[in-house]
Amino acid sequence: MSLDKVVAELFPQLKRQVHGRRLVYLDSAATALKPLSVIEALKQNLSFEVANVHRGAHFLSDEATEKFENVRELVRQFLNAESSAEIIFTRGTTEGLNLVAQSLGSLILNPGDEIIVSQMEHHSNIVPWQMVAQAKGAKVRFAPVLEDGALEFEAFQKMLSSRTKIVSLVHLSNALGTLNPIKKFFAAAKAVGAFCVCDAAQSVPVLKVDVRDLGCDFLVFSGHKIFGPTGIGVLYGRKDLLDKMPPYQGGGSMISEVTETGSTYLASPHRFEAGTPAIAEVVGLGAAIEFVRGIGYENIRSHDAELTSLADEELAKLGGIRRVGRAPQHGHVLSFLLEGQHPSDVGAILDEQGIAVRAGHHCCQPLMHRFKIPGTVRASLSVYTSESDILDFVKGVKKAKELLS
């Protein structure tokens, strides 16, 4: 039995109808649907396990703290980090990148230093670096993207110098589906002494990520893209670096001592987790990771590859389709343009047929400028995507082509 048939019943939202049509959900790169195991974990926590963590002197607080810290250890194993102290809970990828940009950037950047990102980065991996660069007199440089959507390694190498202090790159592009050979890029960056940051928001849901194998100093991802709740994410960072970095926020839970003359801070991870954390969401994240581990990444990758290939083949039969992003290594994201038509018009017609896709620049405006396009239509697959979803999607594109011609 195919993977989608095994897991589809575990996602109650797939039973919905949209505009009187069966829901075809192809917007998983924006946020993944939630399985029953995650929903039940949240329900259980919010119904019977409500308590604050770390500071209580009663059974419920001890229980909540144990479950909260167990998820931290689960994430450590999931990423193959060396210590659970290297796992910081954030609100998501965006907050993780802002934390590293402000805390690491304020510590190491000087006027004339350089930060390298790429043209395919999400705005969350551009704007925080621009902000800290402006404050410190540094410069953000953009590694170029080739016509097929791959990162140009040779050009990236030529950009590296003793001025390069930080390299921050996406592992799997949310707009192109390009799977970057990030280990190769980080090895080159390390050779000039740069710190390496990995945006793994799109890669963690579909392939095994090992922070030690990748050679990154920091890595971020969001819970909601890996079947978990919104409002929770993870920042991995090397402990020796985290303990040197100043806190990103101040408040309760992150202090060692507060006096009228100043404050001292706890070691990582607590120095970066000021205030009451998203406790239920952490529990939900743990359930989501267990769900992914239960399916297995080999099954996920083969399922995505099979259906992405089917979508490519069927769209090609329609003609008049421009695929954007055809790098040799590719993920679960399929972006395209219907020639002569605005992507938003195509997205609206698909929506009328119950087909949920994303249309626009996908928070990647520099990338769209590079390809000289206003945006794309993006279909993104997941474990619950079926062959019938793909065929209905292609029928929807065909209808859009007929209506807009």
The residues annotated with a catalytic role in the active site are: 363
Residues 76, 18: Cα–Cα separation, whole Å: 39
End-to-end CA distance of the chain: 40
Helix ranges (DSSP H) in 137-181: 153-159
Q: Quick one: tokens of 390?
A: 């793909």
Torsion angles phi and psi, residue 37, rounded to 5: -65, -35
Q: Which amino acid is at 174?
A: N
- At residue 364's C-alpha, the angle toward residues 358 and 368, to 5°, is 90
SS3 at position 275 = coil
For residue 49, give the nearest of 275, 287, 294 by alpha carbon: 287
Cβ–Cβ < 8 Å for 89, 142: no
Evaluate the CA torsion angle 199, 201, 202, 208 in order and state its sign: positive
Instruction: Report whether 382 contacts 10 (CB < 8 A).
Output: no
Sign of the four-CA dihedral 288, 289, 290, 295: positive
Which is it for strands 255-259 and 87-90: parallel, antiparallel or unpaired? unpaired
**What does the radius of gyration of the chain's CA atoms come to, in whole angstroms?**
22
Provide φ and ψ at 163, rounded to 5°: -80, -15
